[in-house]
Amino acid sequence: MLNNLSWGDYLAAIGLLLAIYYTGILALYFRSEIKRMLSPRLRPSPADEPAGPSPDEAFEGLETIAKEISSILERAGKEASKTVLLSELKASLASYGGLRIPAYKAAVFNHIIHQAREICGVGISAEELEG
């Protein structure tokens, strides 16, 4: 009986079975995503999306803002006062939209806190940077 099957028939049957199997796996694990893609009324409207830069744009600006912060702190040096330093840092951070993303905000604040202590000898807290 197996002599009547060709390799082409065998491979076609295996391909069909694999396609059915993986379709079932995708349906099982990604059910909600598939429903969202297939239902037009469940798609988020542009008004529902958060305002601000995309994570990719924010990541690209992360290196720029880190360099800018380091240059501010190096210019200020050891004789920098905390109030002047905070005002310059806040002015610099105002142009960076990535602070809306919590992970980037934490990274930037940690960078400022560490660099201010290392370069200027000034202790700055995250609360002072936010306020």
Q: Which of 101, 97, 103 is nearest to 65 (CA)?
A: 97
Q: Does this model's pTM top 0.85? A: no
- Reading the block at residue 99, the tokens are 């602070």
Query: For 10-58, what is each residue's pLDDT tens digit?
Result: 999 999 999 999 999 999 999 888 888 888 764 555 555 555 667 777 7
Token pair 């940690």: residue: 110
CB neighbour list of residue 107: distance below 8 Å, 6 or more residues apart? 62
Query: For 31-44, what is each residue's pLDDT tens digit?
Result: 888 888 888 764 55
- Reading the block at residue 85, the tokens are 């330093």
